[in-house]
Amino acid sequence: MPFVPPFLCRLAGINAGAGTKMSIRSVRTARKGRHEIGEGTTLNCHFSFDRPEASITIGRGCFIGKSHLVAAAGITIGNDVVISWDVTIVDHNSHSLDWKQRAKDVADWRQGKKDWTDVGIAPVTIDDNAWIGMGVTILKGVTIGRGAVVGAASVVTKDVAPFTTVAGNPARQIRDLSN
């Protein structure tokens, strides 16, 4: 995967730590939002900032494959986190569950306006040393604990305790890694 030279990241207004490598797809989408990227991180993901105040913070020494991070409030990823490919992390419901409110939130969508009033939004946090397998979906309000592992193709709807393995849809604890 071709990486963008660090000076081009700085020219694009991306605040990335020393030794960070970003693919062109990451650079193109990161410059549209607020973010902080730590040292020695490798990114090949796509960012979507759905509201101007949204932010994405990624720690040092992380690897994120061809995945999608979607923020309306905030996504925080700790240090030394590995996120495989085809992972989606989203901090909101996108639309209201009530059809009357949903019709209102997209009324001016074609003009680039969205009413977020009735849309559920809650930040996502992935703590240090976690590993997120391929094809995982992490939904709003979830915290993945330190050293936790999320099995491939899981859908995470609730917090994951530190040093545990979860898998499935919805993800459930299958192993304790604290030893």
d(CA 23, CA 21): 7
Q: Are 148 and 171 in contact (CB under 8 A)?
A: no
User: How confident is the model over 15-41, as pLDDT tens digits?
Assistant: 888 888 888 888 887 767 788 899 999
Report all structural domains of the chain as residue ranges with CATH numbers, in order of start. 3-176 (2.160.10.10)
d(CA 21, CA 38): 10
User: How confident is the model over 115-158, as pLDDT tens digits?
Assistant: 888 899 999 999 999 999 999 999 999 999 999 999 999 999 99
Q: Are 61 and 43 in contact (CB under 8 A)?
A: no
User: How confident is the model over 48-96, as pLDDT tens digits?
Assistant: 998 889 999 999 999 999 999 999 999 999 999 999 999 999 999 999 8
Count of residues making up the chain: 179
Name, in order, each residue with C-beta under 8 angstroms of 82's C-beta and a sequence gap of 6 or more.
62, 63, 130, 131, 132
pTM: 0.92
**Alpha carbon distances (Å) from 176 to 10, 130, 134, 162:** 42, 14, 20, 9
